[in-house]
């Protein structure tokens, strides 16, 4: 028989009481595992999603905004620079070094027009190219086609279709100043949660006519089809051929979203760490109660030859056992919880992160051992002569 | 105070005693020990001017007032006295479960009160064995495991010592039973086996029959008597009849050896 067998036999005798200590470690470990698993999956999902859409690059005019101040009073701001891209210059994008990675270059023109008594945002697009980019849009009706002389087709977002009672085949008139276009609704885009829910989408040429912006576009959406292609480098190449334009890669946008995810993750992790601290106190409290209950046994052990180091190591071993059991169960529960919660919270289905199991186990063992410090000090303070005399 | 405290200590003649457990030792606790009490000549333990004070709140209480005592190798000594006379305190100090406030304890002429904590742990492991009134067995362990405890803490291998000790107290057949499955007498015999498994020089028994009926108590005393010679037995008791089994009785009164 060895020292650790003594501890294991003692634990098996006091299963119920030590169960509470294990439970507190389980809760802390489960919280940490659930947070790490969920947010790791969210991060991975975000990148996968960005890759799925071809690591897009958005090209638009670089606009400098200068605040206008009179004395100490702000009187507005002044935007400097060209707000549109010349449509005739778009082909220059194919001169970049990585032009073979350019799958789609879709121009867009944004503006505001009147629809009945309402002002709506209109987005002029190249229907074929836009369909390549937004293939997941669900359209009640059909996608707009190339413009025909006698009839202009538009698609409307769900936020506009509902209030205005528009559906496939509804005739509409869009106007801007003295200009107007008679069109027919080709389809209604089911809600995507994006900006398009509030747009009227029409062929580029029609939008240019209506907005009096012939030959101009607001931005280019570039889909780079590649695996691990140098999106940042491509952005720089595009800026090189379009002086005065800004090419922003989706990875930058993803990074911004990632910052939000990481901030949320940090908050959740902070809560988990607090849980871990509470768990440490609970384990310490349980073990201290255990030491108080075992004063006589510790006194006997000291009388029959246990050294201080052996008494302390037995308590540390007990703490480590509580930690490892709690950590193991907590990992399983945390993983199960994240597989249920993550699809609802961040729309991803995480896989078990076996690679963090050793780390979780290590943290939980450390928790148990740290929690053993105060009980160990208490055990060392026991006077065997006194406790054996008093029982 | 006398230079020879032993000569001042009251001594009772050893009564005729039947040994219900064993007439002769089945194993030698210490081969150097004389088997025959008549051969005893060496002082194993010398208690010199030992005092012990306890602090009770703001007050200091002196429990032992300069105890002097010499105990020979293999001797069976009973310590008697009224409650609060300092019997258990003296026994704990001889076993170094407690430290004296003053004076010294010499074991084989070595002052153990000057030893470090680490050396005292080793002293408790190999030189003394304790038997308590309430047996003090670990409830989660079997009889065998309880007896093996001192070996575990000393890091010694069990080369048959545990089985031999249990056999010596007549409990080899109960070695896999837990304390709750044993009678009071059996539990105390397990405790005695635990006390002698390391073959110590000194066996300290504090009221070893206090929680037992008279018949069982006699058996335990007989067992201790059978061990005396191999090991020096110091027993604290209130019972004069049981104390009469010992080679000598030392009376304590108000923290002094009664003259």
pLDDT higher than 80, residue A120 = yes
Q: What chain A residue is nearest to B150 in terms of C-alpha separation?
A: A304
No. of H helices and E strands in chain A? 12, 14
What is the mean predicted confidence (pLDDT) over A302-328? 91
* Residues B208-249: tens digit of each pLDDT: 988 888 888 888 888 899 988 889 999 999 888 889 989 999
Residues with Cβ within 8 Å of A119's Cβ and at least 6 positions away in sequence, in order, are A112, A113
For chains A and B, what is the number of CB pairs under 8 angstroms?
70
pLDDT higher than 80, residue A65 = no
**Per-residue pLDDT, B193:** 94
Asked if B85 and B77 count as a contact pair (C-beta separation under 8 A), the reply is no
Distance CA A212, CA A208 (A): 6
**B124 and A CB contact within 8 Å:** yes
Distance CA B61, CA A335 (A): 62
Regarding predicted confidence, which is higher, B9 or A261?
Answer: A261
**Per-residue pLDDT, A358:** 92
What is the mean predicted confidence (pLDDT) over A369-389? 84
Got the DSSP string for A26-68?
HHHHHHHHHHHHHHHHHHHHHHHHHHHTT--EEEEE--EEEEE
Phi and psi at residue A67, in whole multiples of 5°? -70, 140
**Per-residue pLDDT, B143:** 95
Per-domain residue ranges of chain A: 3-49+257-389, 83-243
Within 10 angstroms of residue A19's Cβ, the number of other Cβ atoms is 15
No. of H helices and E strands in chain B? 8, 10
Considering the segment(s) A83-243 as one domain, its CATH architecture is Beta Barrel (2.40)
Instruction: Give contacts of B136 with chain A, Cβ < 8 Å.
Output: 296, 299-300, 303, 388, 391
CATH code of the domain containing B32: 3.40.50.300
How far is Cα of residue B181 from the mean position of the Cα atoms in its chain? 25
State the residue range of the domain holding B52.
5-9+21-257
Distance CA A261, CA B48 (A): 76
**Per-residue pLDDT, A345:** 78
**Per-residue pLDDT, A64:** 59
**B123 and A CB contact within 8 Å:** no
The kind and range of the H/E element at A321 are helix A308-345
**Per-residue pLDDT, A252:** 61
- Is B16 a domain residue? no
A9 and B141 within 8 Å at the Cβ level: the answer is yes
The kind and range of the H/E element at A258 are helix A250-293
Instruction: Give contacts of B118 with chain A, Cβ < 8 Å.
Output: 307
- Is B37 a domain residue? yes
Give the angle B110-B72-B25 at the CA atoms, nearest 5°: 115
Average pLDDT, chain B: 82
Regarding predicted confidence, which is higher, A134 or B14?
Answer: A134
Q: What chain A residue is nearest to B129 in terms of C-alpha separation?
A: A304
pLDDT higher than 90, residue A202 = yes
- Is B180 a domain residue? yes
Widest CA span of chain A, in angstroms?
A: 109
Distance CA A312, CA A378 (A): 10
**β-strands A152-157, B256-257 pairing:** unpaired
- Is B14 a domain residue? no
State how far residue B22 is from chain A, nearest Cα, in angstroms.
Answer: 25
Tokens 């922003």 map to which residue? Answer: A248
Mutate: best of A3, A304, A311, A384, partner B, most B CBs <10 A? A304
Q: What chain B residue is nearest to A391 in terms of C-alpha separation?
A: B134
Q: Is A177 exposed, middle or buried (0-12, 13-18, 19+ CB in 10 A)?
A: exposed
Distance CA A65, CA A68 (A): 9
> What sign has the CA pseudo-torsion B182, B183, B188, B192?
negative
**Per-residue pLDDT, A243:** 85
A307 and B136 within 8 Å at the Cβ level: the answer is no
State how far residue A291 is from chain B, nearest Cα, in angstroms.
Answer: 14
State how far residue B155 is from chain A, nearest Cα, in angstroms.
Answer: 9
Q: How far is CA B199 from CA A236, B62, B76, B160, in A?
A: 86, 34, 16, 13
From the list A1, A304, A385, which residue is nearest B92 (CB)?
A385
- Is B251 a domain residue? yes
Number of domains in chain B: 1
Tokens, residue A135 = 């293939």
- Is B90 a domain residue? yes
**Per-residue pLDDT, B84:** 83
This model of the complex carries an ipTM of: 0.76
Beta-bridge partner residues of A179: A176
**Per-residue pLDDT, A116:** 85
**B92 and A CB contact within 8 Å:** yes
Asked if A225 and A77 count as a contact pair (C-beta separation under 8 A), the reply is no
State how far residue A1 is from chain B, nearest Cα, in angstroms.
Answer: 7
From the list A305, A383, A391, which residue is nearest B124 (CB)?
A305
- Is B144 a domain residue? yes
Asked if B227 and B233 count as a contact pair (C-beta separation under 8 A), the reply is yes
Average pLDDT, chain A: 83
* Residues A330-359: tens digit of each pLDDT: 999 999 999 998 888 777 788 889 999 999
- B226-236 burial: b if 16+ Cβ within 10 Å, else e: bbbbbbbbbbb
From the list B89, B97, B121, which residue is nearest A307 (CB)?
B121
3-state secondary structure of A367: helix
Instruction: Give contacts of B101 with chain A, Cβ < 8 Å.
Output: none
What is the mean predicted confidence (pLDDT) over A126-131? 89
- Is B53 a domain residue? yes
Distance CA A17, CA A4 (A): 19
Q: How far is CA A115 from CA A108, A144, A189, A196, B90, in A?
A: 20, 18, 17, 16, 106
Residues with Cβ within 8 Å of A281's Cβ and at least 6 positions away in sequence, in order, are A371
Residue A227: pLDDT band with limits 50, 70, 90: low
Query: Which residue stretches of chain B have pLDDT < 70?
Result: 1-41, 259
> What sign has the CA pseudo-torsion A306, A312, A313, A316?
positive
**B150 and A CB contact within 8 Å:** yes
Q: What chain B residue is nearest to A2 in terms of C-alpha separation?
A: B152
**B59 and A CB contact within 8 Å:** no
């Amino acid at each position: 028989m060895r020292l650790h067998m003594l501890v294991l036999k003692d634990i098996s005798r006091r299963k119920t009481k030590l169960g509470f200590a294990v439970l507190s470690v389980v809760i802390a470990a489960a919280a940490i595992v659930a947070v790490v698993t969920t947010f790791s999956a969210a991060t991975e999902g975000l990148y996968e999603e960005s890759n799925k859409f071809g690591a897009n690059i958005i090209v638009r005019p670089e606009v400098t905004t200068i605040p206008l101040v009179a004395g100490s009073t702000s009187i507005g701001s002044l935007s400097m620079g060209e707000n549109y891209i010349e449509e005739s210059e778009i082909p220059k994008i194919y001169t970049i070094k990585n032009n073979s990675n350019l799958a789609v270059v879709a121009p867009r023109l944004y503006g505001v027009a009147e629809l009945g008594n309402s002002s709506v945002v209109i987005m002029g697009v190249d229907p074929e190219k836009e369909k390549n980019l937004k293939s997941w849009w669900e359209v009640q009706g059909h996608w707009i086609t190339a413009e025909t002389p006698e009839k202009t087709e538009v698609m409307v977002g769900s936020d506009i279709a509902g209030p205005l009672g528009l559906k496939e085949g509804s005739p509409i008139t869009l106007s801007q100043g003295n200009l107007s276009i008679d069109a027919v609704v080709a389809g209604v885009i089911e809600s995507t949660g994006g900006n398009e829910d509030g747009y009227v989408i029409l062929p580029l040429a029609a939008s240019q006519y209506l907005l009096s912006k012939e030959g101009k576009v607001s931005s280019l959406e570039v889909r780079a089809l590649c695996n691990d292609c140098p999106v940042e480098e491509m952005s720089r190449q595009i800026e090189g051929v379009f002086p005065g334009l800004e090419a922003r890669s989706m990875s930058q946008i993803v990074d911004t979203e990632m910052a939000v995810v990481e901030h949320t993750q940090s908050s959740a992790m902070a809560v988990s760490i607090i849980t871990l601290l509470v768990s440490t106190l609970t384990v310490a409290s349980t073990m201290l109660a255990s030491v108080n209950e075992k004063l006589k046994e510790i006194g006997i052990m000291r009388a029959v030859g246990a050294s201080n180091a052996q008494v302390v190591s037995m308590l540390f071993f007990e703490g480590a056992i509580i930690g490892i059991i709690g950590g193991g169960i907590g990992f399983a529960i945390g993983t199960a919880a994240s597989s249920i919660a993550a699809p609802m919270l961040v729309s991803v289905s995480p896989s078990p992160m076996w690679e963090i199991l050793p780390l979780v186990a290590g943290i939980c063992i450390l928790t148990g051992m740290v929690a053993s410090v105060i009980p160990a000090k208490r055990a060392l303070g026991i006077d065997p002569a006194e406790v054996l005399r008093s029982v | 105070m006398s230079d020879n405290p032993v000569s001042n200590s009251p001594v009772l003649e050893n009564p005729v005693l039947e040994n219900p457990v064993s007439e002769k030792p089945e194993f030698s606790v210490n081969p150097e020990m004389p088997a025959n009490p008549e051969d005893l000549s060496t002082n194993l333990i010398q208690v010199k001017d030992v005092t012990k004070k306890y602090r009770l709140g703001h007050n200091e209480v002196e429990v032992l007032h300069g105890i002097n005592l010499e105990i020979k190798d293999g001797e069976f000594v009973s310590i008697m006295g009224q409650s609060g006379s300092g019997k258990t305190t003296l026994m704990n100090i001889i076993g170094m479960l407690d430290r004296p406030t003053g004076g010294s304890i010499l074991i084989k002429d070595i002052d153990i009160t000057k030893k470090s904590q680490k050396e005292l742990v080793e002293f408790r492991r190999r030189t003394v064995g304790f038997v308590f009134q309430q047996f003090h067995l670990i409830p989660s362990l079997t009889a065998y495991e309880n007896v093996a405890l001192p070996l575990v803490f000393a890091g010694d291998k069990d080369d048959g010592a545990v089985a031999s000790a249990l056999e010596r107290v007549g409990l080899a057949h109960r070695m896999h039973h837990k304390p709750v499955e044993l009678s009071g007498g059996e539990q105390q015999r397990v405790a005695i086996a635990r006390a002698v498994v390391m073959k110590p020089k000194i066996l300290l028994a504090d009221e070893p029959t206090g929680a037992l009926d008279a018949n069982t108590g006699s058996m335990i005393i007989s067992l201790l008597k059978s061990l005396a010679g191999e090991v020096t037995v110091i027993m604290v008791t209130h019972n004069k009849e049981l104390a009469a089994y010992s080679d000598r009785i030392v009376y304590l009164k108000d923290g002094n050896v009664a003259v």
